[in-house]
């Protein structure tokens, strides 16, 4: 019997690792779940444990409001006791928690697995791209979502331990959609009709940490509302809310009557909001994948994406944050035929990962 240590810490890690954690719990190994504390608000953290019926972490740490380098350093220091006896450390995605867990495993000479390995934006100015590269270079087991991500790994001379298993975002969706359909009343609560609104999320450092960029993005949201003639529902990430305040842009946001800023939603509400949207506009990784699954057209408010599969099938377009370009992208996506296939697997990623982990531990 081996000892698995899985490290999570942010909203997307909790959501996408929930099905993986459940599958690993069913194995005949010790499985320790560690939470770095990178996300900590009720609506960024606890809500997802409840919505996804995920068990409590065995070890919960606190990070709150630290700069990125200290998020990594503090997580390495705090988590070290939990990982030191591990037969396998598992990290997910591309956050500072991911990089900390990967470096820690290597420094402690523990085997490492990376879930969602090999996705690349090829933009090293993004903190996430650095975190992905670090985790992939250090991993013994690499769970790549698609053949594109496998190819990216091989191009970086990572050739062993790769398993193409789909993306556990689909497991999370398929497991929770029937529950969301029963439990969520978000559309009626917000007075929305199906296909009668756009849903927006926006939180990338490169988009919201500069006043100029964030102001331009508000103009882009206005252009999207004008082009579609629809209201925009905007569950706002705390990073973005903080920047709007700091930059004195709240009044400008308030003046956009079509922009309905709301608190971040729970997972079940988000699924229903996405499923019935006319369009998803986002700079989130997860929303590009989820909208693709729902066959809801996506406009990505970035210049690149590590989800090129969604572009290739027409589910998604890159629009940056230039208002005219975003308006044109919204027009195009409103008219797109919604018949693309889902490139991210059949919802059995968690089970496939657990099988490979079991084989690895022997």
For ligand UD1, the closer of residues 47 and 86 by Cβ is 47
Considering only the stretches 112-120, 209-217, 262-270, 327-335, report the one whose residues sit in contact with ligand UDP under the rule CB under 6 A: 262-270
129 binds ligand UDP per the rule CB under 6 A: no
Burial class (CB in 10 A: 0-12, 13-18, 19+), 196: middle
Give the shortest CB-2-to-ligand UDP separation in angstroms.
29
Give the shortest CB-249-to-ligand UD1 separation in angstroms.
16
Give the shortest CB-301-to-ligand UD1 separation in angstroms.
13
Give the shortest CB-188-to-ligand UD1 separation in angstroms.
27
Out of ligand UD1, ligand UDP, none, what residue 41 binds, judged by CB under 5 to 8 A for its kind, is ligand UD1
Tell me which residues touch ligand UD1 (CB under 6 A).
10-12, 38-41, 44-45, 65, 68, 94-96, 127-128, 203, 237-239, 242
244 binds ligand UDP per the rule CB under 6 A: no
For ligand UD1, the closer of residues 11 and 22 by Cβ is 11
Judge whether 203 counts as a catalytic residue: yes
How far apart, in Å, are the Cα atoms of 192 and each of 40, 91, 229, 231, 272?
29, 38, 14, 9, 11
290 binds ligand UDP per the rule CB under 6 A: yes
201 binds ligand UDP per the rule CB under 6 A: yes
Considering only the stretches 187-195, 219-227, 281-289, 334-342, report the one whose residues sit in contact with ligand UDP under the rule CB under 6 A: 281-289
For ligand UD1, the closer of residues 31 and 307 by Cβ is 307
Give the shortest CB-204-to-ligand UDP separation in angstroms.
7
Number of residues that bind ligand UDP (CB under 6 A): 14
- Catalytic pick among 31, 39, 114, 203: 203
Q: Which of 284, 291, 333, 342 binds ligand UDP (CB under 6 A)?
A: 284
Pick from 79, 35, 78: nearest CA to 58: 35
For ligand UD1, the closer of residues 116 and 227 by Cβ is 116
Site for ligand UDP in 5-24 (CB under 6 A): 11-12, 15
Q: Within 13 Å of residue 30, how many CA atoms lie on the same side as its CB?
A: 14
Give the shortest CB-44-to-ligand UDP separation in angstroms.
8
Out of ligand UDP, ligand UD1, none, what residue 265 binds, judged by CB under 5 to 8 A for its kind, is ligand UDP
Task: Report the catalytic residues.
Answer: 203
Name the residues that contact ligand UDP, by CB under 6 A. Answer: 11-12, 15, 201, 235, 264-265, 267, 270, 284-287, 290
């Amino acid at each position: 019997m081996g000892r698995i240590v899985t490290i999570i810490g942010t909203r997307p890690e909790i959501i996408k690792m929930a099905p993986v954690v459940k599958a690993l719990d069913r194995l005949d190994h010790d499985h320790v779940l560690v939470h770095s504390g990178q996300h900590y608000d009720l609506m960024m953290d606890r809500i997802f444990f409840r919505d996804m019926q995920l068990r409590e972490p065995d070890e919960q740490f606190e990070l709150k409001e630290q700069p990125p380098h200290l998020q990594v350093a503090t997580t390495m220091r705090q988590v070290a006791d939990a990982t030191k006896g591990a037969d396998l450390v598992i990290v997910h995605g591309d956050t500072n928690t991911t990089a900390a867990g990967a470096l820690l495993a290597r420094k402690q000479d523990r085997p490492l697995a990376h879930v969602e390995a090999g996705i690349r934006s090829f933009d090293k100015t993004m903190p996430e791209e650095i975190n992905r590269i670090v985790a992939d270079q250090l991993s013994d087991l690499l769970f790549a979502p698609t053949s594109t991500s496998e190819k990216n790994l091989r191009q970086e001379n990572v050739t062993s331990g790769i398993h193409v298993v789909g993306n556990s975002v689909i497991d999370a969706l398929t497991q929770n959609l029937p529950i969301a359909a029963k439990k969520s009343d978000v559309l009626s609560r917000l007075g929305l009709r199906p296909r009668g609104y756009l849903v927006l999320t926006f939180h990338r450092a490169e988009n919201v940490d500069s006043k100029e960029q964030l102001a331009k993005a508000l103009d882009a949201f206005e252009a999207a509302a004008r082009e579609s003639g629809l209201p925009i529902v905007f569950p706002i990430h705390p990073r973005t809310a903080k920047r709007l305040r700091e930059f004195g842009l709240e009044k400008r946001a308030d003046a956009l009557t079509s922009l309905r800023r709301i608190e971040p939603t729970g997972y079940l509400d988000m699924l229903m909001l996405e499923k019935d949207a006319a369009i998803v506009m986002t700079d989130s990784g997860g929303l590009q994948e989820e909208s693709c699954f729902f066959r809801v057209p996506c406009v990505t408010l970035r210049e690149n994406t590590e989800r090129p599969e969604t572009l290739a099938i027409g589910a998604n377009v890159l629009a940056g944050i230039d208002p005219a370009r975003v308006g044109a992208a919204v027009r195009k996506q409103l008219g797109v035929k919604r018949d693309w296939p889902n490139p991210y697997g059949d919802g059995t990623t968690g089970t496939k990962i657990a099988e490979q982990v079991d084989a690895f531990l022997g």
